[in-house]
A and B are shown apart, each in its own frame.
Chain A
Amino acid sequence: MTTLVLIEAEGAAIKKASLSAVAAARAFGAVDVLLIGAHGAQEAARIEGVTRVLHADSTPHLAESIAALIADRASDYDHIVSAATAYGKNVLPRVAGLLDVQPITEVVEIIDANTFVRPIYAGSALSTVRSRDAIKVLTVRNANFDAASLSDAAPAPVEAISAAVEVPDAEYVGIELTHSDRPELESARVVISGGRGLKDAANFKLLEPVADKLGAAIGASRAAVDAGFAPNEMQVGQTGKIVAPELYIAVGLSGAIQHLAGMKDSRVIVAVNMDPEAPIFSVADYGLVGDLFEVLPQLKAELGA
Chain B
Amino acid sequence: MKIVVPVKRVVDYNIKPRVKADNSGVDTQGVKMSMNPFDEIAVEEAVRLREKGAASEIVVVTIGVAEAQPVLRTAMAMGADRGILVQTDADLEPLAVAKLLKVIIDRENPGLVVMGKQAIDDDMNATGQILAARLNWPQGTFASSVAVEDGRITVVREADGGLETVRLALPAVVTTDLRLNEPRYATMPNIMKAKKKPLETIAADTLGVDIAPRLEVVSVVEPPVRQAGIKVSSVAELVGKLRDEAKVI
Complex CA gap A100/B136 in Å reads 13
* B216 lies within 8 A of A130 (CB): yes
Contact A120 B220, CB 8 Å, known A170-B168, A281-B228, A287-B229: yes
* A87 lies within 8 A of B160 (CB): yes
With a cutoff of 8 Å between Cβ atoms, the chain A residues found around residue B142 in the complex are 86, 89-90
* B239 lies within 8 A of A299 (CB): yes
Which residues of chain A (194-244) have a CB below 8 Å from chain B? 214, 222, 225-226, 231-233, 238-239
With a cutoff of 8 Å between Cβ atoms, the chain A residues found around residue B138 in the complex are 64, 168-170
* A106 lies within 8 A of B123 (CB): yes
B120 near A: Cβ within 8 Å?
yes
In this complex, the interface size class of chain B, counting residues with CB under 8 Å from chain A, is 35 or more
Which residues of chain A (238-295) have a CB below 8 Å from chain B? 238-239, 246-247, 257-258, 264, 267-270, 276, 281-289, 295
* B165 lies within 8 A of A173 (CB): yes
Contact A174 B164, CB 8 Å, known A168-B136, A257-B16: yes
* A171 lies within 8 A of B16 (CB): no
* B162 lies within 8 A of A177 (CB): yes
With a cutoff of 8 Å between Cβ atoms, the chain A residues found around residue B13 in the complex are 258
Contact A232 B246, CB 8 Å, known A105-B126, A170-B167, A239-B178: no
Complex CA gap A172/B156 in Å reads 11
With a cutoff of 8 Å between Cβ atoms, the chain A residues found around residue B168 in the complex are 168-171
Complex CA gap A105/B127 in Å reads 11
Chain A contact surface mostly: mixed
A133 near B: Cβ within 8 Å?
yes
A151 near B: Cβ within 8 Å?
no
B223 near A: Cβ within 8 Å?
yes
Q: Which of A97, A128, A170 has the most CB of B within 10 A?
A: A97
* A247 lies within 8 A of B249 (CB): yes
Which residues of chain A (122-139) have a CB below 8 Å from chain B? 122-133
Q: A residues bordering B, Cβ < 8 Å?
A: 10, 62-64, 67, 85-87, 89-98, 100-106, 115, 118-133, 168-178, 190, 214, 222, 225-226, 231-233, 238-239, 246-247, 257-258, 264, 267-270, 276, 281-289, 295, 298-299, 302-303
